[in-house]
Amino acid sequence: MDPVPAILRAGLRVRARSVRREHGIRGSAPDAAVGSGQQPDPRRRDTARRRARFALKRVPTMRVVRESSSQPLTIDTRRNQLGAGGEGTVYSVGGGLVAKIYKEPQSRREKILAMLANPPADSSTPDHDSIAWPLDALLESAPPGRFVGYLMKRVENAGGFREVAHFLDRVQKRPHFTNYELHVVALNIASAFSALHKKGYVVGDVNDRNILVTELGLATLLDTDSFQVPKQGRSGCFRCAVKTPEFTPPELQKVNPRTVDRRVEHDLFGLGVLIFQLLMQGNHPFNGSDDNGWSIPTRIEKGNFPFGRKQRPISPPPQAPPLSVLDDELGKLFVRCFDDGAGNPDARPTAAEWRRSLDHARQQLATCKANDHHRYPPGGACPWCRIRRDFSLGNGQGLDYFPDAASAQIPLAKPARGKVLGGSGQTVSGTFTSRRSLRRPPPLVPPVAPWSGSSSSSSGSTSTSTAGTGVTAPTGTGSTSSTGSITPTLGQLAWKGLGALASAYLNNLVAGSSHGQNSAVQDDIGAGVWELQRMTPVPPLTPGPLLLGTQVNLLGNGTFTGSGLLLQMYVQTTCQLSGQWEYNAYSNRLKFAVMVNGYPAVYNEELRILSGSSGQFQLRASDGSDWALRRQF
């Protein structure tokens, strides 16, 4: 047998297989066909058995049709999934649209059809929806064509509410936002609420997780299928079955949301909280200092608004700006919402009132001559300069809520103008600095030198190893050993680990290690000022550089260095400390090491997260003591 033709034939077969793979042709070459009654050759790779293996690798798809037009849609359920929850899964379907497919669709069908039949009047700003409302129902493509979900627009180029409202996040992610832009965002949110309320809808579960904000200050309300929706053609409503305690009015704090029909006045409380957080640098209106250690929901239930006119057993957080930084009318609306509205829900300002007052206030804002990022109500000195001067960070810098982050002001193209939701006027949008001209603002606190030590990882867990186990204390403080160091108890140092915990989440676990779990907790905790209180009674201890049993405020600014976060504690003595941490998402534990007052202080301990939400976390130390961490702003 001539070897040359045999080699050529083999080469041609290889070439044929390559062409078939390149063009996506399944099956074998003609010379490998299996005739009737003929068994495939197990030694061949291009037989019928090969075709079966190809079929098993096909990408799973879902075929649905739009109810209004019968347009077919094919969803790649593996590649196009955007998110999943207890109710269903969201997929991208192209064309700027997404589909939400329910796990139990028939229980949702009537509510979605009622929403489609009566949509709210959305903003007329082109290419933007203030409310992520259903556009069309989706049905199975195969008979009998049962309801499976709905179609809605995809929100593009937008970030979370917190990166706008909380100033430590804002100076990192939106450094071009000034007080003017915050008024714009608040106005747009109030406009969306006003449009919903005019149609008889109630948001119900008002919270900061379901709001996205674009670079132009345009806001979008999400999770609309959880809203309370009136039933079509008959009395009653589809209730909102969930609530977020930090945004829930006092009269509903202890009420099961599944058992009550919400009213617009209930929404107005949560709307007031959102606007307060935007204009007051992320502070919750019921955050403050008291002797009882009450949580924010408990303070809401008791009506303890620390910024109000009435005498309350609570005072505002020391780092929070006063209401005087706001327009007088806005300050009065907050008092009506949280002070008067505590016992009289009807006293709360409507969304339309908020919109009008915010629009007036933003037009009146003056610009500081010393810093053009400082915008404030006219008629006095710049309050932001005063706060920067009076609120020292202990490092030669003051607390600046709006640092000058731009080297030049370049106006962007103005968006198309249109009607404000629910009324006459124009859609507002700020004039912003081009991203290309931005320079990163200086950190609120200076970076610290890297730690000397090593880290190791094995078997899916992380750990930090450092040299030493004691704290070197300043002269004359605490009890010292012959080496000049004291051995601290966890009660003395646990709160520093919590500061490092905030650093870990702020930096999105850049310096630590995460395995992709507990993402909800990562989203909830972040940069800010946190009030920490030890809930377990503190035993008598020798006074040291840290005073125990005291509520403290942790002011953190994320720096992307191996040293973690530099924090400041405001108690009888001022301490600066940095934390180095390693986070294990599987065990939900944090290992940390700290430095106190510039002295090397190395201490390793693990804290376990028991539970928590956006404003408060409960942790337990290895000595069994319980700790509560509450966001100040």
Known catalytic residues are 205
The tokens for 246 are 């930090």
Name the amino acid, one letter, at 70. Answer: S
Q: What is the DSSP letter of 537?
A: P
The tokens for 238 are 């589809």
For the chain, the maximum distance between any two Cα atoms, rounded to a whole number of angstroms, is: 107
Q: How many other C-beta atoms can be found within 10 angstroms of the C-beta atom of residue 547?
A: 16
Question: 450 - beta bridge partners?
Answer: none
CA distance 422 to 353: 12
DSSP assignment string, 18-85: HHHHHTT--S--GGG---TTPPPPTT-SSSHHHHHHHHHTPPPEEEEEETTT--EEEEETTTSEEEE-
Q: How many separate helices (H) and strands (E) can be counted in the chain?
A: 13, 26
Closest CA to 504 of 578, 443, 569: 578
CA distance 291 to 306: 13
Interstrand relation of 461-466 and 453-458 (parallel, antiparallel or unpaired)? antiparallel
- Helix residue ranges, H only, 206-286: 264-279
Instruction: Please give the torsion angle defined by the CA atoms of residues 302, 307, 311 and 316, in that order, rounded to the nearest 10 degrees.
Output: 90
What are the two backbone dihedrals, phi and then psi, of residue 317, each rounded to the nearest 5 degrees?
A: -60, 145
Closest CA to 606 of 627, 623, 629, 589: 589
Q: What is the DSSP letter of 146?
A: -
